[in-house]
Structure 1
Amino acid sequence: MPTQNAAAEAKGRETIALDGVWDFQFGDSDAWRKSAVPAVWQAEFADLRTAFGRARHRRTFSLPQEWAGKRVMLRFGAVNYFAEVLVNGRAVGTHEGGYLPFSFIIPHDFLRPENELEVVVTLPSADANQYPQFPFSEIPHGKQSWYGPLGGIWQSVVLEQCGECHIEHVKVDADLASGVVDFDLELSGDGGGYEATVAIVDPDGVEVARVSSSGASLRATIANIKAWSPDTPALYRADLILSAGGTPIDRTSVTFGFRTFEARDGRLYLNGAPFYMRAALDQDYYPAGICTPPSLEFLEDQARKAKALGLNTLRIHIKIPDPRYYEVADRLGLVIWTEIPNVQIFTEASARRMRETMAGILRRDGHHPSIVAWTIINEDWGTRLVENEDHRRWLADTYDWLKALDPTRLVSDNSACFPNFHVKSDMNDYHYYRSVPERLGEWDELTKQFAGGASWTYSSLGDAQWRGDEPLIVSEFGVWGLPDPSKLLLDDGSEPFWMETGATWGDGVAYPHGIQTRFNTLHLDGVFKDFGAFIEAVQWYQFDNLKYQIEVMRSYPSIVGYVITEFTDVHWEANGLLDMNRNPRVFHDVFPQVNADLVIIARPAAWAVYAGDVLDVDVSVATGGGEIPDGAILKWSYAERGERALPAAGPNGLSKAGTLKLPIPESATNERLRIVFEVISNGVSISTNFLDISVYAKRQATRLPSVTSRDPELLAFAQAIGYPIAQAEAADIHLAHALDSDDIEKMREGARYLVIADGSVATHRNLRTDVPAGERLYREMIVNERNMPVGIDQQLPGIGLIEREGTMWRGDWIANFSWIRRKGAFASIPGGPLLDLSFEKVVPHHVMTGFRTFEFAGPVHGGVVIGWLHKPAVTIAERSVGRGSLLATTFRLTSSAPGSDPVAVALFDAMTATIAQRR
């Protein structure tokens, strides 16, 4: 098939579009229903959302009289997965492969004035007995294993009248250095005795070259080349004419561009200039059509939104898009990184299919200047690199095969994540997810190691072909926000079907349906103003994560790019910069400040300070593909203003302004302080960013309740921050990390406890260090369950304690939304209700369970929910025990030196004040 689009072909060939309404029949049903083409049946029919199997598509078409006796071809953009094509009941041909184009010449004697076209489509399941020739696990399928299968005719169908000899395919090689363009034509038949002519039109519409050849190869040289880039997406058009005896018999057009994309010396270069990759992962899924884009205009709109967000690259994730996707990227200026759809099981057949797919991608899309890189395997999906030497050898061999096939683009052998790795690659790209503030330290350490050339990115098994100068790219990172469900409703007010998917992912936390009911059930309207305020808060949480993580990466010039997960939400997966309908997040306008070539990085010595203190802030400016010219100035403003000269820095550099000592204004109340930074060059602002700090009023340690504790370290901590110490009988509050039966007895008699359940004391997965006497006999009786967790409902105080590590409460890719209700003694904690970076020293490593939903309306002061508001857990809560009471928290209030962290002190004060009021 030629690489040009149908509109361009139409100038040389007559075509009839066969898109529209077809008859459709699925499986063993005798019933026919109406179906749209292009579309997948999962998008159209509620009863077939997850259906594998066999379907029939049928329609009629009229053959124009002038086509009688002429060569007629059927062209399919893509059919998933196996297609059998019949015209008037007679088999025309078959095709295997779900993502790429194919065509058939319809024999003359098959055709009539009125014709019936039937396409039988098989989407195989994983049942190898039913589909032995191509079980689902052995075919390239990409994210169908995540979001559901895709079956049917999902790209356009065209009927075309062509000559006996016609141009089947055009391969274009454009050399930026010389201006030479080579065209290799594949012709139907022997192609002998024909003349080919190419006329090249530049981006301004001017013909700049015309050459002819009696063979199938042509070469033209163009002067004054305009290179293609995201800023100047210069496209050339080649009009090709095939002639016989001086008479044109076929013509087609193809667009191309001049550009180079290289990896050398640890850097990326576009057209010889340093290039910093600011990318997002794009799964190429759509609101209604799933894999079929609704229109060219829709693709253009989302490309413009990508650029408005500061993105210069999209990584098409293990999927081959509609060809219009690349046409838009070429025209509007987006760099594209494309991947082979993965298989599940590596076999000889699946390995062959992956290579065939890659060859088909290159054949269809190789002329697009926007495409600069390929991925063979994503995250070891389908291969088992850690344990299988054969798979590692195949991967290295496939890298060599692909580089020989296409030396003009970069190749990632395996876009890796823990615990897999690269074997042989042009790029050292790696994925890791850590949310902040929950796991800020881990993000910092991973990024530091990666930037330093960590050995864990390549095979340690003796077969790594690692040069050491491959560019470092964090090719997946990010965290969930949540879309506004009201913006996703269908025209009739109902939910899209995908809101009832995702229940099998992440221990159920990825299930969207019912989110607002869960919000109300957990009484979160007492934490957030309303549901809309909650959605807005979690989107800002997503922004804060991305901002922090980008700034950390940008502080290491050895890292030359990143890929945000992801460009848009995909069904239940809610980590997009846009939602499924391409609505922007609340941070859309401010995001380009950090997603740019020039980024101001302000790293404070602490994220929370006392009013009147001096805050050290280390400031630098990362240049990416830009530069800091001589004479640039860094300015900052808040209650104070200042400026400092910036040293000049070239691309992929870091201009260090040094450490600023910023006086924090006096304040009688706790508040959030925003410090704005700006880089000025020649009187023009070329970069801006901000830093948010929590400021706490100077604490007056007066009228504090008295405390006691059997834990000397806890007692010393409280005394150091001003709490009076009393004997156990006279103390207002007892402090503990965990409880035993003596503590329960004291509470039964009226004592009040603050339990800092931070995991520093071993318990039985609850707040208890002992097992109540009344439960021992039962536990000893059931011999095989002696290690069972203590039943939290059967013993006091009825609170479970679970370590977040190893659970969905860990805080990685699917976000944990942790909150503190800013009411009562907690009202003065600045920010919120969600935790921000100022909580990084106290953020809990454990959560508490055992609380009913009604308790979230009052006794629960702090908690966490995951994903689409699932798995609620508690971080601060009260409970009555006998005549006494306790307040338990998992915040790590004593992890820093006493008084050194204002957040820890403020939380301690709020908790003691709360429990001291209980009678």
Structure 2
Amino acid sequence: MKINRERLEHPNPQFVRKKWWDLCGTWDFAFDFEECGIKERWFDGREFPEKIQVPFVYQSSLSGVAAEQDCEVVWYKREFGADKKDGKRLLLHFEAVDYLATVWINGNFVGRHEGGFVPFVLDITEFAATGENTVVVRVEDRTSCRQPLGKQSWKSENFLCWYTRTTGIWRDVWMEEVPETYIGEFYVTPDLGHSCVEIEAYISEADKEGELTVEVRFGEELVNRVVQKVKDGKCRMVLDVSSNNPDFRVECWSPETPHLYELKLRYKDLENEDEVESYFGMRRIHAENGAIYLNNKEFYQKLVLNQGYYGDGLMTPPSVDWLVEDVEKMKAFGFNGVRMHQKIEDNRFAYLCDCCGLVMWAEMPSTYAFDRLAGERVMHEVGKLVKKHYNNPSVIVWTLFNESWGVNEILEDKRQQNFVDSLFQFVKSMDSTRLVIGNDGWEHARTDILSIHDYSYDSPYNERYGKLGGHANGVLSKTSLRKNYADGYAYQGEPVIISECGGIAFAGEVDALDSWGYGDRPKDAAEVIARFERVIKGIASFESVCGFCYTQLTDVEQEINGLLDHGHNYKFEPGKIREILDSSKKGGFKFA
């Protein structure tokens, strides 16, 4: 599948309308050290003393802001033009603002959003005017352990594998024009067993009498077109996508054949007409008898852990080309998937995984405390995570917690076990088609996969996973030394994946005195490759294990475990990595 560059430029390639405007670039900016901005009405005509390059946070050198100290409250402002039309509405989109954002248009309050990793949208029609307008955003970020932080350090400095804080707007800001009544959201669920796809669409006004037309194409072929009445603001339909052109009736999505169907939705009533372009992939993921199956074929996962940090941009890539090159390099290394770690990734990255054939594990960033407030915040962002990536065929796993972060006492604490289980069930209620991991790495509660973190390199490492049996309920990892299951839970035959391994620290020619990584430092690149081969081939020899995730794709600040350096350049010859990955767990038919 070729990458559509025009679609890739859109902040959300899964949901494209023709009329949209990019609001990134130079904004006015101010620190609010005294937290007096609201009282002094900074949202109403005040001049801000600095400039910032959105979407880069002030802690990033690409922001253009020279910050001498941390500030928990910051303000943004910019002018934008608008052409208000009868029967049209203006929607203002923020792809991610960390953490609590309050927005004014022309001095009028229009909305507030809490949650640092997920998108939100505001209808600004009633507050905008034809001509010049002003948007002001106040952002408050306490970097509290009770809010989802992911890999941001809650201390005053970086430590171990926690990095520079992120405060403010760190993803795209954009605006689009829609009719008075429009398509609000839709969900695409492939049903490979019946060669069909379910479309569930929601319209912005529930009392409108209209109809929805859904059109599916594959290449130049019109596969199906269905027209259906909208009832109570909702429309659900099932479309047959089989045809005589594919070899076996349906074009399946997989890492080897990342086929995508084009999708167009049109809503129409007496006064309104709205059109959205999208796409979907036909694939099935499920677990059975200790194995994972993709499209009903046993699927061995060769994943790489990606933390989504981009040097001077921190969590924000300097350009979309960085995302393209990352996906191309993962494929060049020979990985068939990526585990997004402690970050909800950009829509365009997910689109690239869809196009290029990389399965993705999507993961909820962690809090680092457990109480009612932390629980509410996690629940809010988990729901938005699932909604954000539901239509991406590359996403096959939802990971809710990592290494008991935010539920540190889950081994014995029934409240924390119940919380993880409730999130597991909550996600299953939103999406019954994917696999869910409750607490990745150790001390599992409810889970579809027994995922284990093990950074060993020694030979006995190759023997511990040979025959699981009752050992699955004990300690298999000799690095974490943690029990696989929390008290009251036991192995039920789930597929086993070593979801963190390797982590070989190597800085190359760079001074590594202050750097961090796993294990003893190898003396040169050749030793890294030899150790990589020992780990990968050792894991591949376990009949009881159906995949692994290597730590990690890139170096990140003080952590130097990457196959790529801080600038996302190769540290090792990709062909050598690929040769090792290709040498193990290959199967299927071969054709001359």
* Aligned with 2:190 (options 174, 177, 200): 174
For the Cα contact (< 8 Å) 1:278–1:312, is it kept in 2? yes
> Pairwise mapping of residues 360-509 of structure 1 onto structure 2 (< 5 A)?
360-383=384-407, 384-417=409-442, 421-435=443-457, 440-441=458-459, 443-444=461-462, 446-448=464-466, 453-456=471-474, 462-467=487-492, 469-484=493-508
For the Cα contact (< 8 Å) 1:61–1:114, is it kept in 2? yes
Q: 1:460 to 1:250 in 2, by over 3 A?
A: closer
Unaligned runs of 5+ in 2: 1-8, 35-46, 154-161, 243-248, 476-482
How far is the alpha carbon of 1:320 from its aligned partner? 0.2
How far is the alpha carbon of 1:395 from its aligned partner? 1.6
How far is the alpha carbon of 1:13 from its aligned partner? 4.8
Match of 2:174 in 1: 158
How far is the alpha carbon of 1:70 from its aligned partner? 3.7
Counterpart amino acid of residue 423 in structure 2: T
Q: What is the alpha-carbon distance in structure 2 between the residues aligned to residue 564 and residue 462 of structure 1?
A: 28
How far is the alpha carbon of 1:321 from its aligned partner? 0.9
* Aligned with 1:57 (options 76, 84, 99): 76
Match of 1:220 in 2: 239
Match of 2:126 in 1: 108
How far is the alpha carbon of 1:577 from its aligned partner? 1.3
Counterpart amino acid of residue 338 in structure 1: A
Match of 2:56 in 1: 39
- What value does the CA root-mean-square deviation take over the aligned residues? 2.8
> Pairwise mapping of residues 77-92 of structure 1 onto structure 2 (< 5 A)?
77-92=95-110
For the Cα contact (< 8 Å) 2:292–2:299, is it kept in 1? yes
Q: What is the alpha-carbon distance in structure 1 between the residues aligned to residue 559 and residue 199 of structure 2?
A: 43
Q: What is the alpha-carbon distance in structure 2 between the residues aligned to residue 141 and residue 151 of structure 1?
A: 11
> Pairwise mapping of residues 121-132 of structure 1 onto structure 2 (< 5 A)?
121-125=139-143
> Pairwise mapping of residues 166-245 of structure 1 onto structure 2 (< 5 A)?
166-202=182-218, 204-215=219-230, 216-223=235-242, 224-245=249-270
Q: 1:45 to 1:51 in 2, by over 3 A?
A: farther
Q: What is the alpha-carbon distance in structure 1 between the residues aligned to residue 49 and residue 468 of structure 2?
A: 57
- Residues 387-428 of structure 1 show CA distances to partners (whole Å, capped at 9, x for unaligned) of 3121112222322222232111111111124xxx21221111
How far is the alpha carbon of 1:434 from its aligned partner? 2.5
Q: 1:546 to 1:49 in 2, by over 3 A?
A: farther
Q: What is the alpha-carbon distance in structure 2 between the residues aligned to residue 376 and residue 52 of structure 1?
A: 30
Q: What is the alpha-carbon distance in structure 2 between the residues aligned to residue 550 and residue 84 of structure 1?
A: 48
Q: 1:359 to 1:205 in 2, by over 3 A?
A: farther
For the Cα contact (< 8 Å) 2:401–2:438, is it kept in 1? yes
Q: What is the alpha-carbon distance in structure 2 between the residues aligned to residue 462 and residue 40 of structure 1?
A: 42
Question: Is the counterpart of residue 148 in structure 1 residue 164 in structure 2?
Answer: yes
How far is the alpha carbon of 1:309 from its aligned partner? 0.8
How far is the alpha carbon of 1:382 from its aligned partner? 0.7
- Residues 731-783 of structure 1 show CA distances to partners (whole Å, capped at 9, x for unaligned) of xxxxxxxxxxxxxxxxxxxxxxxxxxxxxxxxxxxxxxxxxxxxxxxxxxxxx
* Aligned with 2:355 (options 327, 331, 347): 331
How far is the alpha carbon of 1:376 from its aligned partner? 1.1
For the Cα contact (< 8 Å) 2:15–2:278, is it kept in 1? no
How far is the alpha carbon of 1:537 from its aligned partner? 4.4
Question: Is the counterpart of residue 588 in structure 1 residue 549 in structure 2?
Answer: no
- Residues 474-524 of structure 1 show CA distances to partners (whole Å, capped at 9, x for unaligned) of 1111133324457xxxxxxxxxxxx9xx99xxxx6539xxxxxxxxxxxxx
Q: What is the alpha-carbon distance in structure 2 between the residues aligned to residue 416 and residue 566 of structure 1?
A: 15
Q: What is the alpha-carbon distance in structure 1 between the residues aligned to residue 313 and residue 79 of structure 2?
A: 24
Counterpart amino acid of residue 18 in structure 1: L
For the Cα contact (< 8 Å) 2:404–2:439, is it kept in 1? yes
Counterpart amino acid of residue 171 in structure 2: Q
* Aligned with 1:24 (options 20, 29, 34): 29
For the Cα contact (< 8 Å) 1:278–1:562, is it kept in 2? yes
Q: 1:299 to 1:109 in 2, by over 3 A?
A: closer
- Residues 847-892 of structure 1 show CA distances to partners (whole Å, capped at 9, x for unaligned) of xxxxxxxxxxxxxxxxxxxxxxxxxxxxxxxxxxxxxxxxxxxxxx
Match of 1:528 in 2: none
How far is the alpha carbon of 1:187 from its aligned partner? 1.3
- Residues 506-565 of structure 1 show CA distances to partners (whole Å, capped at 9, x for unaligned) of xx6539xxxxxxxxxxxxxxxxxxxxxxx9943322222211111221222111111101
For the Cα contact (< 8 Å) 2:82–2:133, is it kept in 1? yes
For the Cα contact (< 8 Å) 2:472–2:491, is it kept in 1? no
Q: 1:485 to 1:450 in 2, by over 3 A?
A: farther
Q: What is the alpha-carbon distance in structure 2 between the residues aligned to residue 556 and residue 242 of structure 1?
A: 52
The alignment partner of 2:524 has SS state of helix
Q: What is the alpha-carbon distance in structure 2 between the residues aligned to residue 460 and residue 194 of structure 1?
A: 51
The alignment partner of 2:312 has SS state of coil
Q: 1:460 to 1:586 in 2, by over 3 A?
A: closer
Question: Is the counterpart of residue 626 in structure 1 residue 584 in structure 2?
Answer: no
For the Cα contact (< 8 Å) 1:424–1:466, is it kept in 2? no
The alignment partner of 1:473 has SS state of strand
The alignment partner of 1:230 has SS state of coil
Q: TM-score w.r.t. structure 1 length? A: 0.56
Q: 1:61 to 1:349 in 2, by over 3 A?
A: same
Counterpart amino acid of residue 73 in structure 1: L
How far is the alpha carbon of 1:52 from its aligned partner? 4.4
Question: Is the counterpart of residue 555 in structure 1 residue 541 in structure 2?
Answer: yes
Q: What is the alpha-carbon distance in structure 2 between the residues aligned to residue 23 and residue 463 of structure 1?
A: 55
How far is the alpha carbon of 1:462 from its aligned partner? 4.9
Q: How many residues align?
A: 542
Counterpart amino acid of residue 206 in structure 2: D
Counterpart amino acid of residue 108 in structure 1: E
The alignment partner of 1:211 has SS state of strand
- Residues 222-241 of structure 1 show CA distances to partners (whole Å, capped at 9, x for unaligned) of 11210100010011121001
Counterpart amino acid of residue 211 in structure 1: V
Q: 1:56 to 1:276 in 2, by over 3 A?
A: same
Q: 1:459 to 1:200 in 2, by over 3 A?
A: same
Match of 2:561 in 1: 575
The alignment partner of 2:293 has SS state of strand
Q: What is the alpha-carbon distance in structure 2 between the residues aligned to residue 86 and residue 193 of structure 1?
A: 33
The alignment partner of 2:474 has SS state of helix
How far is the alpha carbon of 1:10 from its aligned partner? 8.9
- Residues 359-402 of structure 1 show CA distances to partners (whole Å, capped at 9, x for unaligned) of 10111110000000011110000102123121112222322222
- Residues 612-635 of structure 1 show CA distances to partners (whole Å, capped at 9, x for unaligned) of xxxxxxxxxxxx2515x8xxxxxx
* Aligned with 2:365 (options 335, 341, 362): 341
Q: What is the alpha-carbon distance in structure 1 between the residues aligned to residue 207 and residue 236 of structure 2?
A: 12
- Residues 434-462 of structure 1 show CA distances to partners (whole Å, capped at 9, x for unaligned) of 24xxxx25534544576984322666665
For the Cα contact (< 8 Å) 1:309–1:591, is it kept in 2? yes
Q: What is the alpha-carbon distance in structure 1 between the residues aligned to residue 127 and residue 567 of structure 2?
A: 47
How far is the alpha carbon of 1:568 from its aligned partner? 1.2
Match of 1:823 in 2: none
Counterpart amino acid of residue 163 in structure 2: Y
Q: What is the alpha-carbon distance in structure 2 between the residues aligned to residue 81 and residue 331 of structure 1?
A: 31
- Residues 586-614 of structure 1 show CA distances to partners (whole Å, capped at 9, x for unaligned) of 34221112212x43xxxxxxxxxxxxxxx
Q: What is the alpha-carbon distance in structure 1 between the residues aligned to residue 10 and residue 515 of structure 2?
A: 42
How far is the alpha carbon of 1:217 from its aligned partner? 2.0
How far is the alpha carbon of 1:68 from its aligned partner? 6.6
Counterpart amino acid of residue 249 in structure 1: E
